[in-house]
Amino acid sequence: MSTRDLLIELGTEELPPKALKKLSSSFETSIKQGLEKAKLGFSSIRSYAAPRRMAVVVNDLETSQQDRLVERRGPAVTAAFDDDGNPTKAVQGFARSCGIEVEDLEKMETEKGAWLVFKQQQTGAETASLIPDILQQALIDLPIPKRMRWGDLPGEFVRPVHWLVLLFGDDVIPLELLGVTSGRDTFGHRFHHPEAIRIQSAQTYAPQLETQGHVLVDMSARREAIRGQVLDLATKLGGEAVLNEDLLDEVTGLVEWPVALSGSYDKRFLELPDEALISSMEEHQKYFAVRDKLGDLLPYFITICNIESRDPAQVVAGNERVILPRLSDSAFFWETDRKRPLADRQQQLKTIVFQNKLGTVFDKSARVAKLAAVIAAEIGGDAALAERAALLAKCDLVTEMVGEFPDLQGIMGRYYARLDGEHDEVAEALDEQYLPRFSGDKLPATKTGQAVSLAEKLDTLVGLFGIGQPPTGVKDPFALRRAALGVLRIVIENKLDIDLQTLLKQAQQGFDTQLTEDNVTEKVLHYFFDRLRGYALDQAVKADVFESVLAVQPTKPLDFMQRLHAVAEFRKLEQAEALAAGNKRIGNILRKNDAEGEGAIVDNKLLIEPAEQALAEKLATVTQQVKPLAEQADYAGVLSALADMRDTVDGFFDQVMVMADDEAVRNNRLALLNQTRALFLGVADISVLQQ
């Protein structure tokens, strides 16, 4: 079948820079799915995006669909005709829906009987006729939270649309869309080449825009060009660039033709905390900061222009003029905030609502302080320091600096606490309370920071679940998923031997009458198990291994992970498969006889068969062997010892009839199986392991 290349480009006003990457990816995905749904083959698809355009190029796209045989099954022959051989209403209706007469239907014989069918050879549609609908659906599917309408033009989009390129091979696919008519003309850089550029083919699209239009339309190439220019310029300044990847994405979405320039600012501003200077440069001006080899900031910034200026010095001077008042504001905030210690700001927290039903941030701080003290004592920290840190933890929210730069919360608290003479661990905890901020982020290093971070997250989880506001679908306004995973990471990766269930109950006690839901601790614990499943699977733990440990529901995350690793090693043993099958058989027998978990004592006098005597003797021996191992949480050692029971368990099932006629003997054998199963359940339910 013949193929052509397809180019789709939508030209717009400047698109939202932070959303451009996501929009472009969605656009490509939707076009790809539309082509696949239409059963149109192609070799590859590639997206392009710049501030004023989104595009995709599809290589070797089939020019039409394949012809195919359409087959519809109608009623069974027995239901298609009455006793006199006349067609029933059912078959008449089916024939009408197919556009033919009943006698034109074909008969199909199957194992279940004969059926009437309609068969028709359907000619594949031309690709050019399918593209408009695929394109329009792709635009509908774009993740645009709020669409806009401009003038009296039809349709809505994220920004006004000015042109549309729809080129299939050498031909333009005609289409009226969002107030524009498709063609083959695009437009270059707003200033360097505002004139139209006639695209020769899909393959020349990107090169033509770059050479003629001063537009680097490949977003990834543009991003790397910016990175390279920033790094090179920072090196020339005698330092290293502070490369924030999110800022790099945003700047990439702001410019079509990146040109890096550097400027400087007064050295007196270096007295401010580095984070305050960097936030001011990044958030307000989209500048990249520069550090020296030791990590200290240098009085320089790097800006990415969207134009090759004939007089770069003027551009630099303009940027230096703009940054001065920004940095002056930061200096003013710094000086103003230092006039009052953090502790004096606690009462102001009463004016900030944490959540309508859960009170103010002041109320939350009091709850977290009590819980943090308990946690600190349990993990070997200082309860008094943890309580103090928790009371101060949110005070920087009412400072001038954090009011202007919310991303500095915790960071500024650390600076101000040190200036106030607070203990080093208290100051550090004010920043560590927010860790981990994102997936893979570092964890609190101090015991005080760990205690405060855990307490803050547990209080939030219990509070929101307690008023019936758990995360639902994509809605998670209080970031409970991140909080739960943060708790698990802190506990597991810092090897903290603490019980989540106990801490959740203590967190719940911190609330008065605010909580309205029942079984809050159980609900939150179940939520933690769900998050722990994802955490474990990310570490290559098999799903059935996780389920085997979940079945016994250990409530210490560190202990849970130790069991997972032990079961993963156990299943590698040659005895594992037989023991898993044996445990499954034991579980089924106990459940059928309602003898599960009864804990009945085995009467050795009722052990008649040699095989059951052998199992009882082996059980007693192994129980004594694994007891000290279990106390040390050496679950791998426990399962290794239990693996020696395979032959004994197999022998029992081969030679002993569990359901004996004598009730006393039968119950004694059930008790023996109960004890055997309980020994394994001390680690996990290995019966759920897949063979």
DSSP 6-55: EEEEEEESPPPTTTHHHHHHHHHHHHHHHHHHTT---SEEEEEEETTEEE
- The span from the CA of 89 to the CA of 239, in Å, is 85
- The span from the CA of 220 to the CA of 18, in Å, is 14
Tell me the residue length of the chain.
691
> Does residue 359 sit in helix, strand or coil?
strand
State pLDDT tens for residues 248-282. Answer: 999 999 999 999 999 999 999 999 999 999 999 99
How confident is the model at residue 667, as a pLDDT?
85
At residue 597, does pLDDT exceed 70?
no
Asked if residues 186 and 161 have their Cβ atoms less than 8 Å apart, the reply is: no
Comparing 335 with 670, which gets the higher pLDDT? 335
At residue 515, does pLDDT exceed 80?
yes
- The span from the CA of 145 to the CA of 165, in Å, is 25
Scan for tokens 């030209």, then name that residue: 11
- The span from the CA of 646 to the CA of 580, in Å, is 10
Among 58-72, 172-186, 395-409, 423-437, the minimum mean pLDDT is found in: 58-72
Mean pLDDT of 91-115: 82
Scan for tokens 């855990």, then name that residue: 454
What percentage of residues in the chain have a pLDDT greater than 70?
99
Query: Encoding tokens for residue 476?
Result: 């998670």
How confident is the model at residue 691, as a pLDDT?
66
Of all helices (H) and strands (E), which one includes residue 235?
A: helix 219-236
Asked if residues 182 and 165 have their Cβ atoms less than 8 Å apart, the reply is: yes
Mean pLDDT of 622-628: 91
Q: In the chain, count of helices (H) and strands (E)?
A: 25, 18
**What stretches of 75-150 show up as alpha helix (H) in DSSP?**
77-80, 89-98, 127-141
The DSSP-derived string for 474-512 is: TB-TT-HHHHHHHHHHHHHHTT----HHHHHHHHHHT-S
At residue 306, does pLDDT exceed 90?
yes
CA-nearest of 583, 616, 588 to 602 is 616
Q: What is the largest CA-CA distance in the chain?
A: 104
Mean pLDDT for the chain overall: 92
State pLDDT tens for residues 140-169. Answer: 999 988 888 877 777 789 899 999 999 999
pLDDT category at 634 given cuts 50, 70, 90 is very high
Mean pLDDT of 513-524: 94
pLDDT category at 296 given cuts 50, 70, 90 is very high
State pLDDT tens for residues 53-98. Answer: 999 999 999 999 887 777 788 888 777 788 777 888 888 888 888 8
How confident is the model at residue 674, as a pLDDT?
87
How confident is the model at residue 599, as a pLDDT?
63
> Does residue 198 sit in helix, strand or coil?
strand
Phi-psi sector, 372: left (phi>0), alpha (psi -120 to 50), beta: alpha
Instruction: Residue 185: count other Cβ atoms within 10 Å of its Cβ.
Output: 15
State pLDDT tens for residues 354-364. Answer: 999 999 999 99
Enumerate domains of the chain plus CATH numbers.
3-65+126-210 (3.30.70), 68-122 (no CATH), 219-337 (no CATH), 343-539 (1.10.3210), 561-688 (1.10.730.10)
Asked if residues 557 and 510 have their Cβ atoms less than 8 Å apart, the reply is: no
At residue 598, does pLDDT exceed 70?
no
How confident is the model at residue 355, as a pLDDT?
94
State pLDDT tens for residues 463-476. Answer: 999 999 999 877 88
At residue 661, does pLDDT exceed 70?
yes
At residue 416, does pLDDT exceed 90?
yes
Mean pLDDT of 211-230: 97
- The span from the CA of 205 to the CA of 214, in Å, is 13
pLDDT category at 596 given cuts 50, 70, 90 is low
Query: Encoding tokens for residue 563?
Result: 């069991």
Asked if residues 176 and 211 have their Cβ atoms less than 8 Å apart, the reply is: no
In order of 10, 40, 55, 373, the CA distances from 33 in angstroms are: 18, 10, 16, 54
* Mutual angle of helices 520-538 and 447-466, in 10-degree steps: 120
Asked if residues 87 and 39 have their Cβ atoms less than 8 Å apart, the reply is: no
One-letter amino acid at 450 equals: Q
Comparing 572 with 507, which gets the higher pLDDT? 507
The DSSP-derived string for 272-341 is: S-HHHHHHIIIIII-PEEEE-TTSPEEEEEEEEESS--S-HHHHHHHHHHHHHHHHHHHHHHHHHHTTS-
How confident is the model at residue 658, as a pLDDT?
85
- The span from the CA of 356 to the CA of 477, in Å, is 14
Burial class (CB in 10 A: 0-12, 13-18, 19+), 97: exposed
Burial call 538-549: b when 16+ CB within 10 Å, e when fewer: eeebbeebbebb
- The span from the CA of 645 to the CA of 648, in Å, is 5
At residue 112, does pLDDT exceed 80?
no
Scan for tokens 């903290």, then name that residue: 496
- The span from the CA of 279 to the CA of 302, in Å, is 14
- The span from the CA of 396 to the CA of 387, in Å, is 17
